[in-house]
Amino acid sequence: MTPEHQRLASLLGAWALAACAPEEARAVEAHLPGCEECAEEAVRLREAVGLLQRPDSLDLDPALRTRVLADCLERRPPRIPVPAWTTPYDAETARLDALLQDIGDAEWHAPVRLRWFEAGGAASRRTTVAGVIAHLLSVDGLVALALGLPDPLGAAPAPVPSPVPAGRTEAYWRAARRPPTRLVRRPWRAQSHDIVRTSAFTGGSGGLPVDYGDFALPLRDALTDRAFECWVHGEDIAQAVDYPYEPPAPRHLNGMIDLAARLLPDVLAARRRRPAVAGGPGRSLRLEIEGSGGGEWLIPLDPGAAAVADRQVAHIALDGVEFCRLAAGHVPPEEAAAGAGGDREAIREVLFAAASLSRM
C-alpha cells in the first residue's frame, strides 16, 4: 500500500460528507475507478451519509450533521478550515434537502405562494415546490458568482438585466423549456456544497462583497441572508406538502436577527428619504427579541446619527421567530408587535422597515 493510497483512503470519510477541499475531492474521485478496495469503502460511506440525511433526520436533533462533521474534523483536522460563519447556511440547506428527499414526484408540483412586502403592501407570486428551489438556486448564484463559481443562469438565452434577486429568478424561470421539476434539486444542492467549500479559500473575515444589485453585503452576511431565505422557503414548502418544519437552531436564529437589526437603519433612511446628519447622538428604539435567538438591539432612528440609550424614545418586544417572519414579509407589520411603548410613529416606522427587508 503506497503512501499516496493511504492518503487518499484517509480522505474517504471527509469526501463522503462533502467536507474535502476541491482538489482533494478531485484526487479521491480520480483514484476510485482504479482501486476496488477504496471504491467499495466509498460506496459504504456514501450509503451511511445517505442514512444521516434521510428525512427521518428532520425529527431528530437538527445539529446531528454538524456534530458528525465536528467529530470527523477532530480526527483529521482540515488543512483549510471552513469558516464558522458558513455554518447556518450549511445547516439550513441540509435541513431543506432532508425535507426534499421525503416528498414524492407529484408533490414537487404542489402550489406554493412566495410572499413579501412592498411599499404598497403585501405582494406574492405563485409557483411550485420545484419553482421555489429554482428561486433559491438562482439567488444563491449571486454568492456563487462572488466566489468565482459558475452562474446557474449561465445557460439563459438572454442576459439578466441586473443582479436583483427577483430579476434573476424570473430569468431562470423564463429560460426553462418547461416548469421546474425535482431535477432542480441536484444543481441546487451541488451549488450549496460548492459555496460552503469555496468560502474556506476567502480568508476568515468573510469580507468579500456580494452584489445584490440595489445593495451589497459582505460574504459572511450574505450567507446568513441565504440561510434565512432557505429556512423561510423551507417553511413555505413544508406547509405546501403538510410536513413539520422547525425554526433554525437558536444561535443561527440569533445571527439572522442580528443581520436584520443591522440593516434596519439603512432601510429606515431609504423609506424616509431624509438626508443623513453628520454623526452625533440621535434618537433610538430598543428592539427586544424574546425566546429563541433573543437579545436586545438599539436601533438608530435618525439617519447618520449614532444610537444612544439615553435618547431612547420607543421600545418593541417580539418573539424571535415572529420577528423573522415579519422580516420575511409573512406577517403584516400592523399585527407584529407583541409589546410596544413610546413614540408610536417610531414604532410604526421600524415595524414597516423590518417588513421592507423582505423580497421575492
The 10s digit of each residue's pLDDT in 116-127 is 998 778 899 999
Report the range of poorest mean pLDDT among 145-159, 183-197, 259-273.
145-159
pLDDT above 70 for 100:
yes
Q: Mean pLDDT throughout 160-184?
A: 81
Q: Which of 75, 96, 111 is where one domain is finished?
A: 75
54 vs 196 pLDDT, higher one: 196
- pLDDT band, residue 273 (cuts 50/70/90): low
258 vs 303 pLDDT, higher one: 258
Integer Rg of the chain from CA: 22
Whether residue 179 is found in the same domain as residue 93: yes
Whether residue 274 is found in the same domain as residue 135: no
Give me the amino acid identity at 346.
A
Q: Mean pLDDT throughout 12-41?
A: 83
Q: Which of 246, 277, 304 is where one domain is finished?
A: 246
Whether residue 126 is found in the same domain as residue 230: yes
Whether residue 214 is found in the same domain as residue 330: no
d(Cα 104, Cα 161) in Å, to the nearest integer?
Answer: 35
Kindly report whether the global pTM for this prediction surpasses the value 0.85.
no
Question: Which pLDDT score, from 0 to 100, does residue 58 have?
Answer: 44
Question: Which pLDDT score, from 0 to 100, does residue 157 have?
Answer: 47
Task: Report residue 316 as a C-alpha cell.
Answer: 418593541
Number of domains in the chain: 3
Strands 209-211 and 339-342: unpaired
Whether residue 89 is found in the same domain as residue 144: yes
Whether residue 111 is found in the same domain as residue 236: yes
Residue range 51-88, pLDDT digits in tens: 655 444 444 455 565 566 566 656 655 555 678 899 99
d(Cα 64, Cα 83) in Å, to the nearest integer?
Answer: 19
Question: Which pLDDT score, from 0 to 100, does residue 52 have?
Answer: 58
Q: Assign residue 247 a region: left if phi > 0, alpha if psi is -120 to 50, beta otherwise?
A: beta
Instruction: Find the domain containing 66 and state its range.
Output: 3-75
Question: 44: exposed, middle or buried (C-beta count within 10 Å: 0-12, 13-18, 19+)?
Answer: exposed
